[in-house]
Amino acid sequence: MAQLLDDRKDLIIPKKLVKVGVAQYSAVNFDLDKTLDRLETIVKDASNKGVKLLVFPEAFLPGYPHGGDLGVIFGNHALAGRKIYQLWHESAVEIPGPAITRLSKVAKDNSIFLVVGTIEKEPTSSTLYCTVVFVSDEGLYLGKHRKLMPTNVERLTWGLGDGSTLPVYDSPAGKVGAVICWENYMPLLRTTMYTKGIQIYCAPTADNGDNWQYTMRHIAMEGRCFVLGCNQFTRRSDYPADSEFPNAISDKDGDRVLCRGGSIIVSPLGEVLAGPNYSSEELLIAEIDLNDVIRGKYDLDVVGHYNRPDIFTLYVNEKANPGIVTKMQNLNCSEGGMNEDRGKCPHPCIKKGKGCEEKNTEAK
């Protein structure tokens, strides 16, 4: 941090200063209403300290089941796992729904942009998704990002996101987006976010390892963006009793730390501005200068002057991939397929007589 400040102290360009924060706190696991109460308290504290953008951990609403014993082995599905799944599903978040309405009010009342990890459920299925929601400082729900690839045991309980939820939004702190936990190890996903001009790269996580902070610093330097890595600090006592939540890590020791945090805020040149904290809950805050993003890209812009598009091409499929298709669709058509006349592609290029871009057929 000191070197970056020294480098810019004589610049005449006005600073674009704003305070950002990460909320390293535990949820009241499996209790959505109480966790929302806790979130509101944290947001008010952050707002009083001047924070304009605040990130909450992966699955904060209603919690990540660290140590949850799902009782699954090859060829068997234990009843204990079904009970935990039901407990999780009952406390999950519908989008839109009452929890999002409350988040919107909290954001507006405190003039703060919120990036919140949730477990999402749909009204038409029982599948859960690991999701991040974005709510503006004016109280508007902007959209969401669904985790593309759940990790390890998470695949037992979460569905897969698709390319339709890879947003980057304007915020008081700059262009903001989110990549969840081990998605950050997916180079092409990171590149996708860079191409969208991300400046505030949010990384809600449940990673409990020792090397996560290296990844956060690498991404900051690679993308020349600010990185806000946010994790929970949670103990066994933050979860229901053993009868409701059998735990493979610690069933009886309420003080046992199940996730030790390690949240961090990093500058575009890889300097640690806040954190990591491995010992307690904490609101981490850093005042950032958005001009540092441009200054950082002076010598490295991986999707700009340091790119070789003549050699490398990245194709990103940003279409939704619904489980149920209610109208006949030509899935090869880049604009969504056939209409009710069955066979007429509504792609604009048809009107120009060029045919569908992907099928390259002549218009009829």
Active site residues: 58
The tokens for 331 are: 């899935």
How far, in Å, CA of 204 to CA of 179, rounded? Answer: 7
The tokens for 112 are: 């703060």
- What DSSP designation does 247 have? B
Q: Is the bond into 276 cis (omega within 30 degrees of 0)?
A: yes
How far, in Å, CA of 308 to CA of 100, rounded? Answer: 42
99 Cβ contact list (under 8 Å, min separation 6): 32, 36, 61, 93, 118
Cα maximum dimension of the chain: 72
47-63: string of b/e by CB count within 10 Å (b at 16+)? beeebbbbbbbbbbbbb
The total of other beta-carbon atoms located within 10 Å of residue 208's CB is: 16
Q: Is 257 helix (H, G, I), strand (E, B) or coil?
A: strand
- The end-to-end CA distance of the chain, in Å, is 63
- What DSSP designation does 277 have? E
- What DSSP designation does 361 have? P
The total of other beta-carbon atoms located within 10 Å of residue 197's CB is: 14
The tokens for 65 are: 């089941």
**How many contiguous H segments (helices) and E segments (strands) does the chain have?**
8, 17
The tokens for 280 are: 């307690």
